Amino acid sequence: MVKVLKYTRKYAVLIPGYKEDAVILDVAKQALDQSYPQSLFDVVVIADSFKPETLSELEKMPITLVEVDFEVSTKSKALNKAMKTIGDGYDVALVLDADNIMEHGFIEKMDHAFENGFKVVQGHRVAKNTNTSFAILDAISEEVNNHIFRKGHRALRLSSALIGSGMGFEYSFFKRTMAQVEAVGGFDKELELKLLRSGEKIEYLHHAIVYDEKVQKAAVFANQRKRWLSAQFIYFRRFVGSGIKELFLRGNIDFFDKVYQMIAPPRVLLAGVVTLITLFYAGIHFLFPVISGFMGIPYQFWFFTFLVVVFAFLMAIPKKFYSIDTLKAILTLPKAFGLMFLSLFKLKGANKKFIHTEHGTINS
Length of the chain as a residue count = 364
Q: Dump pLDDT digits (tens) for 69-115.
A: 988 888 889 999 999 999 999 999 999 999 999 999 999 999 999 99
| Predicted confidence (pLDDT) at residue 2 exceeds the cutoff of 50 | no
Residues 291-299, mean pLDDT to the nearest whole number: 80
Closest CA to 162 of 235, 241, 223: 235
H or E segment to which residue 202 belongs: strand 202-212
> Is 125 in contact with 160 (CB distance < 8 Å)?
no
The alpha carbon torsion through 265, 270, 273, 279 (nearest 10 deg) reads 160
Pair 64, 43: CB distance under 8 Å: yes
What are the domain boundaries of the chain?
A: 11-215
pLDDT mean across residues, the chain:
89
Is pLDDT at 255 greater than 90 in this prediction?
yes
Look at residue 27 and give its three-state secondary structure: helix
Task: Mean pLDDT check: name the lowest of 154-158, 221-225, 338-342.
Answer: 221-225
pLDDT (tens digit per residue) in 142-179? 999 999 999 999 999 999 999 999 999 999 999 999 98
pLDDT of residue 1: 44
The pLDDT of residue 249 is 95
Q: pTM value?
A: 0.88
Higher pLDDT, 64 or 261: 64
State what percent of residues in the chain have pLDDT above 90: 66
- Quickly state the pLDDT bin for 219 (edges 50, 70, 90): confident
Whole-number pLDDT of residue 228 = 76
User: Helix H segments across 121-170?
Assistant: 133-145, 153-155
Give the Cα separation of 351 and 185 in Å (integer): 5
Which residues have C-beta within 8 Å of that of residue 18, sequence separation ≥ 6?
Answer: 48, 49, 73, 78, 98, 354, 356
**How do residues 103-146 score in pLDDT, each as one tens digit?**
999 999 999 999 999 999 999 999 999 999 989 999 999 999 99
Strand partners, 210: 102, 125
**Nearest-angstrom CA–CA distance, 108 and 208:** 9
User: What is the CB-side half-sphere exposure of residue 201 using CA atoms within 13 A?
Assistant: 12
Say whether 186 sits in a helix, a strand or coil.
coil
* Residue type (1 letter), 265: P
Q: What single-letter DSSP state applies at residue 169? A: E
Cα 232 to its chain centre, rounded Å, is 12
CATH class for the domain made up of 11-215: alpha beta
**For residue 3, what pLDDT is reported?**
54
